[in-house]
Amino acid sequence: MAKNWKTKLIHSDAKIPEGFRSLNVGVQRASTVLFPDAASVKDTWDQYETGYTYGLYGTPTVLELAARICELEGGFRTLVTPGGQGAITLINFAFLKAGDHVLLPESVYTPSRKFAAQVLKRFGVEPEFYPPDAGAAIGQRFRPNTRLVWCESPGSITMEVQDVPAIAQAAHRAGALVALDNTWSAGVYFDAFAHGVDISMQALTKYVGGHSDLLLGSITVRDEQAWRRLGSTHQLVGCAASPDDCSLALRGMKTLAVRLKAIAEAGLTLARWLAERAEIERVLHPALPSCPGHEFWKRDFTGSAGLFSFVFQPRFSKEQVQRFVDRLGLFKIGYSWAGVTSLAVAYDFHATQGRPAYGHRLVRLNIGLEDVEDLKADLEQALGKM
Ligand X SMILES: Cc1ncc(COP(=O)(O)O)c(C=O)c1O
Q: How far is the CB of 133 from ligand X (least distance, A)?
A: 18
Q: How far apart are CA 179 and CA 290, in angstroms?
A: 27
Q: How far is the CB of 113 from ligand X (least distance, A)?
A: 11
The answer, yes or no, to whether the previous bond of 154 is cis (omega within 30 of 0) is yes
Q: How far apart are CA 178 and CA 194, in angstroms?
A: 13
HSE toward the beta carbon, residue 16, CA cutoff 13 A: 3
For ligand X, give the closer residue by CB, 85 or 242. 85
267 and 305 Cβ atoms separated by less than 8 Å? yes
For ligand X, give the closer residue by CB, 103 or 372. 103
Q: How far is the CB of 217 from ligand X (least distance, A)?
A: 6
Q: How far is the CB of 204 from ligand X (least distance, A)?
A: 7
Q: What's the chain's Rg over C-alpha atoms? A: 23
Q: How far is the CB of 366 from ligand X (least distance, A)?
A: 10
For ligand X, give the closer residue by CB, 111 or 124. 111
The CB-nearest residue to ligand X is 84
Q: How far is the CB of 205 from ligand X (least distance, A)?
A: 3
For ligand X, give the closer residue by CB, 235 or 336. 336
Q: How far is the CB of 19 from ligand X (least distance, A)?
A: 38
HSE toward the beta carbon, residue 361, CA cutoff 13 A: 19
For ligand X, give the closer residue by CB, 47 or 107. 107
DSSP 308: E
For ligand X, give the closer residue by CB, 336 or 353. 336
Bridge-based pairing of strands 280-284 and 146-152 is unpaired
Q: How far is the CB of 280 from ligand X (least distance, A)?
A: 23
**313 contact partners, CB below 8 Å, separation of at least 6:** 278, 279, 280, 281, 361
CA 295 distance to own-chain centroid: 22
For ligand X, give the closer residue by CB, 62 or 215. 215
**Alpha helices, DSSP H only, in the chain?**
5-10, 47-50, 60-73, 84-95, 110-114, 121-122, 164-173, 224-237, 243-254, 256-275, 294-300, 318-327, 372-384
HSE toward the beta carbon, residue 46, CA cutoff 13 A: 12
Residues lying near ligand X in the complex (CB under 6 A) are found at 83-85, 109, 156, 181, 183, 203, 205, 215, 217, 336
For ligand X, give the closer residue by CB, 152 or 281. 152
